[in-house]
């Protein structure tokens, strides 16, 4: 089940990253340079305006995403959901 799925990293995920910093262009560019399709949304929370990144990706790329985000914004709030893409959008394997 879940343990095997985590080990072989099959499937797709949707990640939402709520950034806590104001200067996010470098992070967004870095994610895109590493093969992630990033959509930037504007949100408003308790502490004011925030940028929210919406990212559809392969499950195997989760650790790379987490590492890159934390390098730029250690306080970023990251959530992840399993998805089944229906059509359209940006899916690209990260080249190692």
Dihedral pair phi/psi, residue 66, rounded to 5°: -60, -45
Residue 6 has pLDDT above 70, yes or no: no
pLDDT value of residue 78: 97
> Residue 14 is inside which H or E element, if any?
strand 12-18
Domains in the chain (CATH in brackets) are 2-83 (3.30.70.120)
Six token digits for residue 59: 């499950």
pLDDT value of residue 47: 86
pLDDT digits 0-9 by tens, 39-95: 999 999 888 899 999 999 999 999 999 999 999 999 999 999 998 866 666 655 444
Residue 2 has pLDDT above 80, yes or no: no
């Amino acid at each position: 089940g879940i343990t095997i799925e985590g080990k072989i990293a099959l499937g797709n995920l949707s990640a939402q990253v709520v950034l806590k910093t104001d200067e996010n262009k470098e992070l967004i560019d870095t994610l895109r340079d590493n093969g992630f399709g990033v959509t930037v949304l504007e949100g408003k929370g308790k502490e004011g305006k925030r940028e929210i990144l919406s990212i559809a990706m392969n499950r195997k790329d989760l650790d790379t995403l987490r590492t890159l985000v934390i390098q730029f914004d250690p306080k970023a709030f990251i959530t992840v959901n399993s998805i089944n893409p229906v059509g359209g959008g940006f899916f690209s394997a990260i080249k190692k």
